[in-house]
Amino acid sequence: GAVVSQHPSRVICKSGTSVKIECRSLDFQATTMFWYRQFPKQSLMLMATSNEGSKATYEQGVEKDKFLINHASLTLSTLTVTSAHPEDSSFYICSAPDRGSEKLFFGSGTQLSVL
């Protein structure tokens, strides 16, 4: 089946730094990529939807200047957490829909810890 590769799997950074998370579709073209965040004991929350070649759509309450999304090619979408603060510490994961079955193919997630 389709594979979405997500890196890094874990990152620890100092407050104020920016962190980039990459999701690559390895054997299919992902025109759309969904980005989610999950806090402990909570469900996956959709943050934004990126579409190749156009601006991302952000969910209500998600700061677009804080979470920069780029989807410059059909195989790569990136999420940059700018000027990260401890409250941004969370699990971030991406997924891309398969056009035929409409199943979501997920990355393996990134655990971000901001000190």
Binding residues for other proteins, per CB under 8 A?
4, 6, 34, 36, 41-46, 49, 57, 93, 95, 97, 101-109
Smallest distance, Å, CB 68 to other proteins? 20
Of 82 and 91, CB closest to other proteins: 91
CA distance 70 to 85: 21
DSSP letter (8 states) at residue 83: S
Of 3 and 68, CB closest to other proteins: 3
Of 1 and 86, CB closest to other proteins: 1
CA distance 13 to 66: 16
Smallest distance, Å, CB 102 to other proteins? 6
Beta-carbon contacts of 22 under 8 Å, excluding residues fewer than 6 positions away, are 6, 7, 76, 77, 78
Beta-carbon contacts of 99 under 8 Å, excluding residues fewer than 6 positions away, are none
Of 28 and 106, CB closest to other proteins: 106
Smallest distance, Å, CB 111 to other proteins? 11
